[in-house]
Amino acid sequence: MKPLRPEDPEQLGPYRLVARLGAGGMGRVYLATSPAGHSVAVKVIRPEMAEDKNFRIRFRREVAAAAAVGGTYTASVVDAAPDAETPWLATTYIPGPTLAEAVAEHGPLPVEAVLALGAGMAEALIAVHAQGLVHRDLKPSNVLLAADGPRVIDFGIVRARDGYQLTATGGVFGSLEYMCPEQATGDPMGAEGDVFCLGSVLAFAACGRPPFSGAAAATLLYQVVHGWPDLTGVPEPLEKIIGLCLAKDPALRITPDRLSAACAPGGVEQLPTEDWLPAPVAATVARYQAAVLDLVPTPTTAPNAVDIARSTTGANGACPGGSDGQSGEAGDSAESPVAVMPRAEANFEGPTVPEQSDPCEKPARQDPPSRAHRRSPARSGLSRRSMLAAATGLAVAGGATALVAVRGKPRARSASPPVSAPEPNWVYTGDPLLQTPAVFNDGTALLKARPGAMICLDLGNGSHPKWIYQGISLSPTPVLLADGAAVALGTGATVIGVDPTSGSERFTLDFGTDFQFDQLLGAYDGFALSVLGARLERQSTEQGVATSTDAVFAVDLRARQAEVIPISPEDVGIPLQPVVVSDYFVYADGLRNVSVRSTHDAGSLRWRHPVGYDLRPGLAVLGQTVFAIGSELIALELSTGRLRWRAKPGHGLFTSLGAGGNTVYVTGDDPHGVYAFNAANGSRRWFCETPQLDGDHPVTVGPNAVYVAALENKNGFFAIDAAAGRLRWTFTDGRDTGVNGWQIACDRTGHLVAHHYDRVYGLPSA
């Protein structure tokens, strides 16, 4: 904290500047006081940046996107004027050093403090990702250590996950030592990248240095992409937790929700709000607090309600920079403040929000639907635990037996020119769809959309829905067909069954306040469900703060009962993406084993097969064989776990998987393309080279073709002849919708349904 200089402004909007806090590439940060006497941090954009029209556009959109971010472990938004002659924004001031400053002055933090730090940062990411944003620059200087817990700051280069990126093409953003591999290689970075960066920050907090190093930038980036992290001196359990963050493959990283639970098993509500820091660091925090008191008198009033209202709209209730939600030219609305992002170094490269979204709209706090009116629109926002995003298991097909492995170099089929992409039979446009493939039922396709709807489209002409049922949760898994109903989750621990023909509600089962249901994992026995959720435990019978434990539930729809299936420590880690069949619950656990539990017998463990660090979470079951991929494809006997055969790619890794008939299909990353293997003995049938693919999406298997999504969703998806292994066609609508990738489904008769953000395409099969 330094005194103001003669060139510094004395006032910005209603805020009186009292000291300098820091500076960065895009501007300066000042300590200021509000009219009510509250301390705020005000960021001021450099004049040369303010004169750039494109920067103004990015800054407005950044402001609108980051305004939605809240939570205990981020700094509260107060005010902004992105269209003023001198653009500025204000947030609550957090008195305390950055993690970088604290470690430089006092050395690494003790284990207990690092665990509290990890839980708080994970909760901050949950808040960021729940709004569809990615931070992209987690580093020690962007974490403040306050007396009551950490704060993640500097959302200057967050970007909207659902929209478009306006940063400079080809630019690398973030700090080299704390980058994730995706940033280092220039690949798209999603929420998983923030987790990698968080792991690097925790390593720094625990041992005083980043986990990757290099004398030159190129050497350092190579280590981030290919090298092993140096965790020397990091004690357990921190080493294991940090290792789960630093997986090279984004799909193998622990999720923020599970990271929070690993760092704070009793729940973040139980974390200490004082004395969480070692005494020397706490003394530094006290110095910051004292310095502020010397400059800013203690306020005698609560925050001004007008300021709070101004944090969501302009001074006249209009969107900043224009009217009716439209951005105006620079300087159009100099007195129009909006809520913005937390205090940090002045470093702003803007994100964007989805083109389909109102950039001035801040999501309202939403209430759950009334149980008496299940058909009313859903009000529940994206829940904390629904961030445990997971795709469903791959389709189960008819039987196959296995013999021995036959290895050999795959032959790439000749790249004969594909036919033109087919014209859709129909197109449906509506609300944004959840990232789950369609489910087929009696000539219809069932999908899920925001803000909480189940949609039924006729396969003959789905341009208008047959029916829409409102009132389901945003659980990120497809509709399940069980007990004659289309089943989805509601709020709390409710299961909703909808008549798949008429869309009328058949039942709503509420399993009480002791449980929370988050995802439908699968159905079996015709009337039973497997559900991922949490068991809640309270200290008293009163409703309120509760600790939670991840759990899998076996839900019997006919008996109206829910039984907890035990989850062991090995199951915590990567997102749970099981395949659920009649007697078996098959999944990749957190210690990189293929694990199988019984769907009966209270979920007893049948077997575990160790695979290793590169095991992908998506598995497949075909008849009595389990297939898993990573550096190789393995086939395991479903009942015993015995290895039947294994096969390796020419180079690189296998990245996604699908199975149908008597063939297993996998995608590879070196070279890029699709392999077909005989499911019985592992012999290679063919290899079809393609452009780079999205390895996080399973291979969709149809009766005559397989379908795989391109890495960049604007490039659509590819249809490959299942028998000949030749590329037939590529389909795309040419839109770039950020992380909202293509979701592809094909039924046994060849009906192909693909959806992309807010559009559904009914296509003729290949």
Q: Quickly list DSSP for 525-594.
A: TTTEEEEEEEEEE-SSSSSS--EEEEEEEEEETTTTEEEEEP--GGG-SSPP--EE-SSEEEEE-TTSEE
Spatial separation of the C-alpha atoms in residues 667 and 279, rounded to whole Å? 53
- Token reading at 456: 């039924």
Q: Which of 262, 279, 310 is the endpoint of a domain? A: 310
Task: Count the neighbouring beta carbons within 10 Å of the beta carbon of residue 52.
Answer: 14
Based on the fold, state whether residues 133 and 20 are members of the same structural domain.
Answer: yes
Full strand arrangement of the beta sheet holding 27-33: 11-12, 15-23, 27-33, 39-45, 88-92, 77-81
Judge whether 153 and 344 are in contact, CB under 8 Å. Answer: yes
Rg (CA), the chain: 26
Selecting among 79, 83, 137, 589, the annotated active-site residue is 137
Cβ neighbour number for residue 467 with a 10 Å cutoff? 16
- CB neighbours of residue 56 within 10 Å: 24
What stretch of H or E contains 23? strand 15-23
CB atoms within 10 A of CB 446: 24
Residue 342 falls within a domain, yes or no?
no
Q: 203-218 burial, b if ≥16 CB within 10 A, otherwise e?
A: bbbbbeebbbeeeeee
Which of 290, 310, 330 marks a domain boundary? 310
Same-domain check for residues 182 and 301: yes
Q: Is the separation of the CB atoms in 579 and 524 below 8 Å?
A: no
pLDDT at residue 43 in the model: 85
Q: How far is CA 346 from CA 22, 155, 225, 433, 437, in A?
A: 8, 10, 28, 36, 41
Give the helix, strand, coil percentages of the chain, each rounded to 5.
20, 30, 50
pLDDT for res 110: 94
Full 3-state SS string of 686-720: EEEECCCECCCCCCEECCCEEEEEECCHHHCEEEE
Helix (H) or strand (E) run with residue 12 in it: strand 11-12
Relative to beta strand 593-598, strand 584-588 is antiparallel
- Encoded amino acid at 253, one letter: R
Per the DSSP assignment, residues forming a β-bridge with 302 are none
- Residue 123: φ, ψ to 5°: -65, -35
Sheet with 439-441, side-by-side order of all strands? 439-441, 444-449, 453-458, 467-470
Query: What CATH number did the domain enclosing 513 receive?
Result: 2.130.10.10
Residues 278 and 156 placed together within one structural domain of the fold: yes
- Measuring CA to CA, which residue among 756, 764, 755 is closest to residue 457? 755
pLDDT at 153: 84
Tokens linked to 476:
């990120």
CA distance 576 to 567: 11
CA 455 to chain centre: 24
Q: Which two tokens stand for residue 625?
A: 């064989």
Does residue 615 sit within a domain? yes
- Helix runs in 35-180, H state only: 47-50, 53-66, 99-106, 111-130
Handedness of CA 417, 423, 425, 429 (dihedral sign): positive
Does residue 372 lie in a domain region? no
Of 77, 7, 95, nearest to 295 (Cα)?
95
Do residue 216 and residue 98 come from a single domain? yes
Other Cβ atoms less than 10 A from the Cβ of 372: the count is: 6
Provide the CATH number for the domain around residue 122. 1.10.510.10
Asked whether residue 369 is assigned to any structural domain, the reply reads no
Overall domain count for the chain:
2
User: Do residue 118 and residue 262 come from a single domain?
Assistant: yes
42 and 181 in a single domain? The answer is yes
Measured CA to CA, the distance from residue 412 to residue 279 in angstroms comes to 64
Do residues 145 and 152 touch, judged by C-beta distance below 8 A? no
- Is 367 labeled as catalytic in the residue annotation? no
Confidence at residue 159, expressed as pLDDT on a 0 to 100 scale: 46
- pLDDT, position 32: 92
Q: How far apart are CA 46 and CA 59, in angstroms?
A: 12
Record the tokens describing residue 718, joined without a space: 């590819």
Asked which of 256, 286, 310 is the last residue of a domain, the reply is 310
Asked if residue 133 and residue 26 are part of one domain, the reply reads yes
**630: containing domain:** 383-763
Q: Does residue 401 sit within a domain?
A: yes
Q: CA-CA-CA-CA torsion for 360, 365, 371, 373, nearest 10 degrees? A: -30
Shared domain check, 407 and 290:
no
> Is 580 a member of any domain?
yes
Let me know whether 613 and 756 are in one domain: yes
What does the pLDDT read at residue 569?
A: 56
Please check whether residue 366 lies inside any domain of the structure: no
Q: Which two tokens stand for residue 506?
A: 């058949």
Q: Do 526 and 418 share a structural domain?
A: yes
Determine whether 278 is exposed, middle or buried from the number of CB atoms within 10 Å of its CB (0-12, 13-18, 19+): middle
Tell me the average confidence (pLDDT) per consecutive run of 10 residues in the chain, 766 residues long: 87 91 79 88 84 76 68 81 85 90 94 95 89 86 93 63 35 70 86 95 95 82 88 90 91 88 83 88 92 72 39 34 32 32 32 33 34 29 30 28 30 51 94 93 95 95 96 90 95 94 95 86 92 73 52 90 74 74 89 88 89 85 95 96 93 91 94 95 96 91 96 93 95 85 93 95 88
388 and 306: one domain? no
Contact residues for 59 (Cβ-Cβ < 8 A; gap 6+): 45, 82, 87, 348, 350
**294 CB-near residues (< 8 Å, 6+ apart):** none
DSSP annotation of 224? H
Specify if 305 maps to a domain: yes
Regarding whether 750 and 643 lie in a shared domain, the answer is: yes
Q: What is the pLDDT of residue 66?
A: 62
Distance CA(663)–CA(397), nearest Å, equals 10
Of 42, 57, 59, 66, give the one whose Cα is nearest residue 155: 66
Cα 48 to Cα 342: distance, rounded to the nearest angstrom: 23
For the question of whether the overall pTM of this predicted structure is more than 0.85, the answer is no
Q: What are phi and psi of 205, to 5 degrees?
A: -65, -35
